[in-house]
Structure 1
Amino acid sequence: MDELYPPIAPRAEGFLDVGDGHRIRCQEAGNPAGKPVVVLHGGPGSGIAPMARRHFDPEGYRIVLFDQRGSGRSTPDAGDLTANTLWHLVSDMEALRERLGIERWQLFGGSWGATLALAYAQTHPSRVSEIILRGVFTVRQSELDWIYRGGAANLFPREWEAFLAPIPAALRDNPLAAYASLLDDPSEEVRHRAAVAWSVWEGATVSVQPQESFVRQYAEPAFALTFARLAVHYFSHGAWLDEGRLIRDAGKLAGIPGVIVQGRYDAVCPPITAYELHRAWPGSELKLLEGAGHAVTDPGVLAALRAATDSFRTQT
């Protein structure tokens, strides 16, 4: 963890009413006069992680974090799907930026957080100073098929078998649709079993060196239910994106400096997506890390992210 800055507590915390009955939990840390950056958590559904504040020099950055709709301590309760789409989240970010009086901010996100960063930046490019992405995910059908329809199963066959276990045999040709049904089942036992199986699949595949600590974290029932409900909700709808949109429209990011940090052996979000985004995004830099998978703690990832935040720290 030497690549991280020391732990830092939030300087301010509160809730922002974003409409539709939703209030998002927000935090600020670091220097109130520093360079603004907003951290976009993954999942969808994972929520604010204290470690996320440590990617940034607290003397140089004004660090903004928030729990997305249905996540963390945002209200209504975690896992709420009402008025909860990618475009609601983009609007929430813009409302938060305006509430904080920030003219432009840096975007920092990994996995689903990278999806949200790209959607926001392509909608509001004039409000973005730089973008730092990790483990790029753009919700194309090929990406969903890889992780949820048998691609990654070639690398993790035992774990894939456990992922399929809650699904009736006749429905296993479309696990995403099957999980949507299971997570809406009247039986609490069925819902919880499905949520844990869904979540543990990601925990088992997230690191290039599988770690029991990840599996335990993802298997925790409260986390798993939120994580699974939101992920299946978003992915069943293709995140309300036209197929391939985030890469097709990457030209809108021209003039916005960006760093893409990607593990070569990422089994959740394979590097072809990061490579294609890099090719479509003028002026972006791709850092393809040998020996790394999807996890932020995989070899070289934290160092690459810190190098990126440090390099942008004094840019206006």
Structure 2
Amino acid sequence: MRTLYPPVEPYVRHTLQVEAPHTLYVEECGNPAGIPVLFVHGGPGGGCEPWHRQFFDPDRYRIVLFDQRGCGRSTPHASLENNTTQALTGDMEQLREHLGIERWMLFGGSWGSTLSLLYAQACPERVLALVLRGIFLCRKQDIDWFYQQGASRLFPDAWQDFIAPVPPSRRDNLVQAYHELLTGDDEVRRLAAARAWSVWEGTTSTLQHKPALVRHFADSYIALSMARIECHYFINGAFIRPDQIISDAAQLKNIPGRIIHGRYDVVCPVDQAIELHHAWPEADVQIIPASGHSAGEPAVAGALLEATDHFAGQLA
């Protein structure tokens, strides 16, 4: 099975001033003259990690990673002010112009697939190709599956920990109840809720339990941005129209793509990948056996590497 490319360090780091109060962290790795590729991280509210650089051949790609508003090393941390989907796609376009890139490939998983698709639909002429993993269409039924009823039946033990911060009388709308906790003035309750929200995602992201991944999601700094920003987006319907990605799929017609999805993805069930493929048949789809949601699942990572190698040859 394929393994990730060796670790690589950035050759330059940037900060990009966008709409106040936000400043984005940006880094570039690999070959400055290579095929430009933008790594679009998940969440919303996640951030880039060093291992994310390793999905690309550093000799053939100019690898750009950035932390979205309120995420990772971008500031202010976990801020919800002026934090919307339209703002993020605008930031991506501002970043492209700032770096002097005419067209680039997008690589995104989970929420990163959502944001990549929305950017590609808004700016199709700027996109060379899409490599997407763990498709998240961000519809009400997709959010309800994971945060109200659905995944709860597969992980009933972990679900009890997720709902614990919410009083029983408020559990008919958990996203709403969590939003009140995560934006409230009680710092102790806010952090406890953030950890419970984030650990639920970390626990369900892999086919086999990975304690190290759960510990990563439980880290207070990571949990606070993940929980606050995800909940902020989901209570607002991700700031998009119902079923917007499928409705606007015609905008993707001339963009080559690779859709990669774990068969047993509990966070974003595989029907979302199939629906996207039906609406965008020009993209190849791979359903990966014995795999869950995470990009770190060995077979999923192997498929992603094969995809980036394929496009390195196609786009050279």
Name the TM tier (shorter chain).
over 0.9
Partners in 1 of 2:89 and 2:305 — Cα distance? 25
Partners in 1 of 2:97 and 2:54 — Cα distance? 24
Partners in 2 of 1:279 and 1:238 — Cα distance? 23
2:19, 2:82 within 8 Å by CA — same for their partners in 1?
A: no
Other-structure match for 2:24? 24
Mapping of 1:1-316 within 5 angstroms? 2-76=2-76, 78-316=77-315
List per-residue Cα deviations over 1:165-211 (Å, max 9, x = no partner).
11011100111000001112221111011111101100110001122
Partners in 1 of 2:191 and 2:69 — Cα distance? 21
**Which residue identity is paired with 1:16?**
L
Partners in 2 of 1:200 and 1:47 — Cα distance? 16
Q: Secondary structure at the match of 1:288?
A: strand
Q: Secondary structure at the match of 1:302?
A: helix
Partners in 2 of 1:191 and 1:126 — Cα distance? 42
**Which residue identity is paired with 1:4?**
L
Q: Secondary structure at the match of 1:228?
A: helix
**Which residue identity is paired with 1:215?**
V
**Which residue identity is paired with 1:28?**
E
1:255, 1:282 within 8 Å by CA — same for their partners in 2?
A: no
Q: Secondary structure at the match of 1:315?
A: helix
Q: Secondary structure at the match of 1:313?
A: helix
Partners in 2 of 1:69 and 1:289 — Cα distance? 31
4+ residue runs over 4 A deviation? none
**Which residue identity is paired with 1:191?**
R
Q: Secondary structure at the match of 2:313?
A: coil
Question: TM-score by structure 1 length?
Answer: 0.98
**Which residue identity is paired with 1:52?**
H
Q: Secondary structure at the match of 1:62?
A: strand
Number of residue pairs matched by the alignment: 315
**Which residue identity is paired with 2:73?**
R
- Structure 1 residue ranges without an equivalent (≥5): none
Partners in 2 of 1:271 and 1:311 — Cα distance? 23
Partners in 2 of 1:289 and 1:17 — Cα distance? 39
How far is the alpha carbon of 1:23 from its aligned partner? Answer: 1.3
Question: TM-score by structure 2 length?
Answer: 0.98
2:78, 2:224 within 8 Å by CA — same for their partners in 1?
A: yes
Partners in 1 of 2:262 and 2:116 — Cα distance? 19
Partners in 1 of 2:167 and 2:152 — Cα distance? 18
**Which residue identity is paired with 1:74?**
S
Partners in 1 of 2:281 and 2:260 — Cα distance? 16
1:37, 1:64 within 8 Å by CA — same for their partners in 2?
A: yes
RMSD: 1.0
List per-residue Cα deviations over 1:19-52 (Å, max 9, x = no partner).
2221111100000100000000111111111111
List per-residue Cα deviations over 1:214-264 (Å, max 9, x = no partner).
211111111111110000001111110101001121111001100011001
Partners in 1 of 2:249 and 2:46 — Cα distance? 26
**Which residue identity is paired with 1:26?**
V
**Which residue identity is paired with 1:149?**
Q
How far is the alpha carbon of 1:296 from its aligned partner? Answer: 1.2
List per-residue Cα deviations over 1:111-166 (Å, max 9, x = no partner).
01001100100000000000000001011011001000110011000101111111
Question: Which moves more between the two structures, 105-114 or 2-11?
Answer: 2-11
Q: Secondary structure at the match of 2:101?
A: coil
1:8, 1:53 within 8 Å by CA — same for their partners in 2?
A: yes
